[in-house]
Amino acid sequence: MVVTGNGLLAGAAVTDITPPPGGSLAGYAARTSASTAVHDPLQATAVAVSDGTTTSVVVCADLIALDPETTRSIARDVRERTGIPEERVAVAVTHTHAGPAVTGGGIGGVADPAYVRHACSRIAGAARAALGALTPAVLRRGSGTLHGVASNRRGGSLTDSVVPVVRLERVDGEPIAAVFSYACHPVTLGPDNLRITADWPGYARRHVQARTGGVAMFLQGCCGQLNTGHTALDSLRGTGPRPGRTFEAAQRIGARVAEAALAAPAEHVTAPVSGPVSGPVSGPVSGPVSGQVSVAAARVELPLGEPLAPDRLRALADEPDGIWADWARAQLADPGPEAVEVQVAVHRWGGVPLVFLPCEPFVEFAVELRAALGDPGLLVAGYTGGVPGYLPYPEAHYEAGGYEICEAHRAYGLRAAFTPEAGRLVMAAARTLAGEAR
């Protein structure tokens, strides 16, 4: 169905992407054993929003990461089958640390090419199904608050307590989709867990969907240094049981995130739009939304630092049972590219902005963008358009060092961490695109 003028269309779909047990699990360098069972299914959810002229598609999968080129191939698949331009397709992941290895870097496992092809086909299929389900819709916006779940593993108290929510409904009130976000690593289950699970985002999504109907989509926030209370070094240690890192804990966290989303004040909805939007929409106003859809996207090259000297690489490669030995040997053979290309995008659904950032962005991205755009409930999703590594910001983090700066790039197969310029480039692109998408 195509509706012209200022009418809003929306559609949603969900598909299963659960792999069979027995493959590599990604997320922890310390975990080398294959998966033994499926605890709960992995899914890809898709939401499409259109004004009849411009269409935005967002799809999110229960995976730890996708290489930038893989997200582009999914977007190409959608374009070839639907005609939607690639830059209008945002491909995100929830970042569960108990799903299959799917990237070139491995992040704790070896990807099965057959599964990667299968998952990508299913993810693109979900996007196409959402487009096929487009129907006249209204959009309502809210923002909940949640404290006491995420913690800053680099020290300090900065976290992101905002739980943005976008609700899409048919004109008769029947739910189409609830899109919500929160910033916290899905690492409730630790290296000892060998069962496939979506971790707390899966519980949160099922909790919301059970209450609202329609499709529930979770988008991971800027949680680069935020998790459920564990140190980054836990991923490098042995695989013995950790107190509190249980499925029961994941369920409790998921329920708390879901309840914060469900409790988002009903009066926080956007005003009707009858033409181009001139600025960010925020604050408690009333009424459903209808209006224009826009997408502004740009590819950004993120520079990497200099590789380790050969003698230091050889020392790592020769370490007995060294967790970085394979990485060091690969680096000695080929240090890889000097930069990685990713996509930054801002989608506007009837005037409501959604910002999509690549990599594992630090929480300061969301905090600064909300302040810069004057929108305290702005949905800022990370892990979209490719996740090739951590993206620290601001550059003061580099002076402090730590896992995300000094070691994490090895899990992604990179020669070095991104330089401080990378974060500035992404922030500048996001702010520029937010203006272009108005």
Q: Give SS3 for 138.
A: strand
What's the confidence (pLDDT) of residue 276?
A: 32
pTM: 0.93
Chain segment 26-73, per-residue pLDDT in tens:
998 888 899 999 999 999 999 999 999 999 999 999 999 999 999 999
Whether the per-residue pLDDT at 268 is higher than 50: the answer is no
The torsion angle over the Cα atoms of residues 183, 189, 191 and 194, rounded to 10 degrees, is -130
pLDDT digits (tens, 9 = 90+) for 211-242: 999 999 999 999 999 999 887 777 676 666 77
Question: What residue ranges do the domains of the chain occupy?
Answer: 8-266+293-299+339-436
Of the candidates 32, 103, 91, 30, the residue with the CA atom closest to the CA atom of residue 64: 103
- Count Cβ atoms within 10 A of the Cβ of residue 274 and give its class: 0-12 exposed, 13-18 middle, 19 or more buried: exposed
Q: What is the mean pLDDT of residues 319-328?
A: 88
Spatial distance between the Cα atoms of 104 and 95, rounded to a whole number of angstroms: 16
At residue 304, φ and ψ (nearest 5 deg) are -105, 155
Summarize pLDDT for 356-365 with one digit per residue, the tens: 999 999 999 9
The pLDDT-based confidence of 243 (bands split at 50, 70, 90) is confident
